[in-house]
Amino acid sequence: MYLSNSHLLLLLWALKCALLNKHCPSHILQVVVTLDYNEDFQSLHNNEHVYQAVTKELTVPANDALTAHFWIIPTKIGVIDITVRAQSSSAADALRRPLIVDVS
């Protein structure tokens, strides 16, 4: 899973998380990807603004990668911690990265 550092200059931001299936070269992986709740942003999920964790389920083919997209709307200026978790039957990972919201 990869989550890049970013600077935000717009109100709506797309978070992209890459999921790689390199550890199970002959198996398809069912992966649950979760964007953790943070009171400093709203998530846009199914065309609704939500203040809760957002979960997506992906099927990652063997020796391939997929991207999970999450849309967020920051509700404060400054640094916001973004945490994303990925869980399959054979592995798990989590990343926390700062999102810098600036009005300059």
- Kindly report, residue by residue over 84-94, the tens digit of the pLDDT: 999 998 889 99
Beta carbons within 8 Å of 50's beta carbon, 6+ residues apart: 42, 43, 44
The pTM score is: 0.80
pLDDT of residue 7: 42
Residue 74 lies in a domain: yes
Residue 14 lies in a domain: yes
- C-alpha span between 101 and 38 (Å, rounded): 14
Give the pLDDT mean for 20-47.
85
Residue 1 lies in a domain: no
The CATH number of residue 36's host domain is 2.60.40.10
Bigger pLDDT: 96 vs 14: 96
Backbone dihedral angles phi then psi of residue 97, each to the nearest 5 degrees: -135, 150
Domain region containing 25: 6-101
Residue 10 lies in a domain: yes
Number of domains the chain is built from: 1
Give the Å distances, CA to CA, from 67 to 4, 9, 13, 31, 56.
Answer: 13, 23, 15, 11, 11
- Kindly report, residue by residue over 44-75, the tens digit of the pLDDT: 887 788 889 999 999 998 888 898 989 898 98
Average pLDDT, the chain: 83
